[in-house]
Amino acid sequence: MLIIEDQVDLAENLFEFLGEDRYSLDFASDGLTALHLLATQSYDVIVLDLMLPGVNGYDICRRIRQDLQYQTPVILMTALSTLTDKEKGFDCGADDYLVKPFELRELQLRIEALHRRHSPQRPVLTAGDIRFDPGTLKVELRGSKMTLSGTPARLFELLVRAYPSFLSHEVLTDAVWGARHGENEGHSLRTHVYTLRKSLLAGLGNGLVKTIHGRGYSLEVPATGNLEAP
């Protein structure tokens, strides 16, 4: 998801709030940076402020639709609250319009709603006897079922897709927190993997995630009839 917002305090609040869940976030504080990211990266949802330095949000939204030909859902967030402002925003191609100030949870709900409506139906992923639905985050193993959430769900999806190969610490960290992650994300990765294993063990009877010491992690499908954690 791309957040385009020139108010640093608000952007930091958004990253702190949304980053705790299963979102991979990019940030631009001005219109030119935003256009560069949009031309070189792909996003599921764009959260766009209107009053930006360089190129304003109306022009960015118009370029997303007309120049780049992207159908990515766009949420405008702004202090401009008149009907004329909203009409102009929707005319530029916006999918939603949120007036500041707003509750962060409301923004999250709108993001999730837009993503559900615009996302193509994703097929169920399989690895041996493991089935994982990226749309519902449900995991199934030989009749046992559970639902993951947050960053552990994102990590599990990556490991299922990579099976039977392993994924390095760096690849997992970049995929979840972005290429510009900080040094502390290595510790965060271990914490989220621990949480993932604990959830899988409680729900399915096996932690399923194997540590490749010094390299990364892989999915370990239990042999038939063996669901106890090693």
With 0.75 as the threshold, say if the pTM is over it: no
Give the pLDDT confidence score for residue 61 in this predicted structure.
95
Q: Point out the residues of the chain with pLDDT beneath 70.
A: 20-22, 120-122, 178-186, 224-230
pLDDT tens digits, one per residue of 133-176: 987 889 999 999 999 988 898 899 999 999 999 999 988 888 77
- 125-219 folds as Arc Repressor Mutant, subunit A (1.10.10)
Query: What percent of the chain shows pLDDT beyond 90?
Result: 59
Q: Where are the domains of the chain?
A: 2-118, 125-219
| Correct CATH for 2-118 of 3.60.15.10, 3.40.50.300, 3.40.50.2300, 3.40.50.620 | 3.40.50.2300
Round the CA-based radius of gyration of the chain to a whole number and report it.
20
**18, 31, 43, 114, 183 from 12: Cα distances, Å:** 10, 18, 19, 22, 18
DSSP strand pairing (96-99 vs 74-78): parallel
Whether 2-118 shares its CATH topology with 125-219 is answered: no
